Structures are given as structure tokens and as C-alpha cells.
Amino acid sequence: MVKPICRLGNPVLREEAKLVPLDFIKTDDFNQLIADLYDSMKHYGGIGIAAPQIGVSLQVALIQLEGVNRYDELIDLPLTTFINPQVEILGTETQSFWEGCLSVPGLRGLVERPNHVRVKYVDKKGEEKFLEAKGFLATVLQHELDHLFGVLYVDRIKDTKNLSYQEEYESFIVNKES
Ligand code: ZN
């Protein structure tokens, strides 16, 4: 079921979400939460969503990036459920992308982040998994998983001159980059 999205200012977005008890995974209530996250992500047009964004303070996030072409880089991550994730930063290189967020509608901001990460997580079958990512996918992972620790992308904008409304971003910024 599509749920309303909690927006910037809602304290649930600032809490550290609770770890999912492993015996809660695969229950009907847990599967319903995943279905609600999926329906909401699709309805609002996101490429990822975290449980706090629908008001549930649990460490669960979904990402789906199938055949997405961003900055001439083809990214392919089938629908993946990240439960109780831990992000490890690999290397010292960083990258900057213009990010947006369902919880901060209408805005874009340029965020510098590490460009190579490895995520340890539990999948929706309860199995431990690892995912290593570089480039845009590494940024998407860090953005979504930040939501589980009360962090929003706007917190990571170093220079607020690099914060823009979507329309102004399209008019003045995106076309100049290409
Ligand atoms: Zn977000």
C-alpha cells in the first residue's frame, strides 16, 4: 500500500532506526512493510526508499536501479532489500553527484561522498550478503543507508550554494554539465 512520505522536519527522519530482529524477517508483518516500501517507492518515483521515510524506524531500505544510465554510466541493481546494513568505505577517492530525496521534495543538492564502498547487510530471506559498489551506485547506497542513521543528504552539502530547486537545476545547472 502506498504510504505518505515523511518530509524534512519530521523527527522520525532524525532517529537512528532500530535493528530488525532476525526472527521478524519473513513474517507477514515484515513482508507487508517491504511491500509498502516498494509500492511507495514506485508511486513517488524514487530509485530507493528507507523505512523511516514512511514513518517506520527500522533498518530497512530498498533500492532498484535497473538499466539506469547516469552520466554515461550504466547501473544495474535489481530490486534489493537492505536490512541492518553496515557501510565500509574503501579507498580515499570521492565523487560529487546532484542528489534528490523523496523526503526533501523539489530540491537538488551537490554532495561529495566516497566513490567506493562495501555494504554488509541481511537480505529479505535472512541471509548475510555483501555488495561492493563504485560510482553512482555507491552514492545511492550511501544516501539510502544514511536514512537509517538519521542523516539526510542536505546535511552533507558542503556549500549551500550547491542547493537548488529542481526546475532551476534543470535550467541552470544540468545542461551546463553536459
Ligand atoms: Zn532520501
Catalytic residue list contains 144: yes
What pLDDT, in 10s, does the model give residues 132-157? 999 999 999 999 999 999 999 999 99
Amino acid letter, residue 51:
A
Instruction: Determine contact, residues 22/122, Cβ cutoff 8 Å.
Output: yes
Q: How far is the CA of 129 from the centre of ligand 1 (A)?
A: 23
User: Could you tell me the pLDDT band of residue 69, with boundaries at 50, 70 and 90?
Assistant: confident
Q: Taking ligand 1, which is a single-atom ion, which protein residues have CB atoms under 5 Å away?
A: 101
Q: How far is the CA of 127 from the centre of ligand 1 (A)?
A: 25
Q: How far is the CA of 142 from the centre of ligand 1 (A)?
A: 10
More confident residue, 66 or 23: 23
Active-site option among 99, 144, 168, 170: 144
Torsion angles phi and psi, residue 167, rounded to 5: -65, -40
Confidence (pTM) = 0.94
pLDDT at position 118 over 90? yes
